[in-house]
Chain A
Amino acid sequence: MNSRLSAITLNTFREAVRDRVLYNLIIFVLLLVASAPLFGQISIGLERLILVNVGLSSISVFGILIGIFIGIGLVSKEIEKKTLYTILSRPVRRWEFIVGKYFGLVLTLVVNAILMSVGFYVALLISEHKLTGADGHLLIAIYFAVLEFLMITAVTLLFSSFSTPIFSAIFAFALFVIGTFATDLRNFAAAAHGMTKWFATAAAYAVPNFASLNVIGQVAHDQPLGGSLIVMNTLYALLYSAAVTAGAVLIFERRNLK
């Protein structure tokens, strides 16, 4: 990574870390995870299941929300406050700015996921008094959550590169919701005919497939996950993120900044 890219990445990370709203979200998540054993107490015999579901869903959903929340302002805030003027008047390529911002937010979300995961495993240890091999499998779900972060960050950045923060948030969140039901969209496309089939298929492949990355139910029930799923999901998330980030770069390269 060149020095300009790493400087933008680290500055984006530093901005997120020093943002007090981010701390509120983290505290909220930690409280939620810490209170998970209480859910178990009102669900006799299902302690672990509830704890795993609540804990992993929190890591995923709050990571996504933080990603959208910060991502929508990544570019627009720099334009609005004119900080971008002092960046682009230096030997910084526009693609370096976009990619640096992307890496910075991904780094933020990964660090958040690690902190939340530590909280989650502590709650699991308190609840079960020991950690087993099955608990190790839960890391796959956390890894898939990180893959979700790669994709949602790219999507949010794409919208942020040409739209206002509010519209970026609406578009990104809508795409997240649609992507969560990507499997249903593909099933619909398979069952449709004519033009509808064509449009539904195109839409099904265009939206990020968050459905395939959600394995919380499986790991909570100790169902095995194949190695090929991990490889395919990794490749898919990387390629999808790269393509969407490239789209953001293409838009930003041509954009006149006010």
Chain B
Amino acid sequence: MHVIEIQGLSKDYPVGFWKKQLRPALKPLDLAVEQGETFGFLGPNGAGKTTTLKLLMGIIFPSSGSARILGKDFHDPEIKRRIGFLPEQPYFYDYLSAPELLDYYAQLSGVPQTGRKQRISEMLDRVGLGDVGNKQLRKFSKGMLQRVGIAQAIIHDPEVIFLDEPMSGLDPLGRHEIRELIQSLKDVGKTIFFSTHILSDAEALCDRVAVIHKGELRGVGVVNDLRSSAAGKTEVIWEGASALGSVSNYALEPHVTGDTVRATVSTELLDTMLERLRQQHARLISVTPLHGTLEQYFLSRTSDQEPVRV
């Protein structure tokens, strides 16, 4: 079942002195996310990730297109009882304590008063803030605020959780903590849609990713498939540029630096190529099997020139 279905959703902003020109912030976007999936929405800064999330949350209105969340129109206020949202670099009412803030958001999400206090306490424990007491949020560190942000997004036990750059601006420890939190949500079967430009986080957490660049969807892929897309290739580095001619039929993308050559070769042809290199008295420096990375896929999708081969 598709939990999120986006059909031709776009957003244009009027620009110029007379506001007559339109600048597309998001070109018509079609995307579907399955139930229980952790879906990464990747793109460089200014790619249109936050615009997409703001459209889905009803913060801005689309120029065209529509979306359905959990089978209902995304503008239906009732659907918002079943979704949670963490904005990018969130700021919360800093005059409130964490329990007060969660109580406020729980009320807005329709969490009944009975058991609300208990739920807030459990939620604070879950995000590692069980001991903050009534300290006001203005005294919280960035990492603590991000954890409060996750808590407010899930206080009403939503089925779908939208996270906008959840690791942005955090130190490695903070990133690790948030990653663990997202993993725990994934483990209990929540559907998670999160935008990020930190590829290692997406690679560690996501089942599928979409790459968006300049407001345009550039590709959607399964993370495991992307990882294996470069399997079957090996990188070989040797000294002896003169030997390159004898292996030119096997060596892919050769790079020559002085007398050193770096090239990739199909694993089936590796032995043959190594034999030829020995015959040419080339000195072998390294032989490394290659694995595809999300970074390679990301770079290939966001490059406006020739795509990089994965």
Contact = CB atoms under 8 A, between A and B. Distances in A.
Most B CB within 10 A of own CB, among A3, A19, A93: A3
Contacts of B85: 85-86, 89
A91 B78 contact: yes
Interface residues of B, number: 30
Contact of A90 (B80, B89, B162): B80
Nearest to A92: B108
Nearest to B164: A85
A3 B110 CA distance: 8
B77 A89 contact: no
Nearest to A79: B59
A83 B93 contact: yes
B107 interface: yes
A195 B65 CA distance: 47
B308 interface: no
B74 to A, nearest CB: 11
Interface string A61-89: 00000000000000000000111111111
B107 A3 contact: yes
A82 B59 CA distance: 10
Contacts of A54: none
A183 interface: no
B77 A86 contact: no
Contacts, number: 76
Contact of A15 (B78, B91, B95, B156): B95
A221 interface: no
B90 interface: yes
A98 to B, nearest CB: 15
B104 A7 contact: yes
B59 A11 contact: no
A18 interface: yes
Contacts of A93: 77
A256 interface: yes
A3 B80 CA distance: 16
A5 to B, nearest CB: 10
Interface in B60-110: 60-61, 77-78, 80-81, 83-85, 87, 89-93, 95-96, 104-105, 107-110
A82 B57 CA distance: 13
Contacts of A18: 95
Interface string B10-25: 0000000000000000
Given A256-B59, A256-B60, 8 more contacts: A7-B107, A15-B93, A19-B95, A82-B89, A82-B90, A88-B57, A89-B58, A89-B84
9 closest cross-chain pairs (CB), A and B? A89-B85, A7-B107, A18-B95, A89-B57, A85-B87, A256-B60, A91-B80, A81-B91, A90-B108
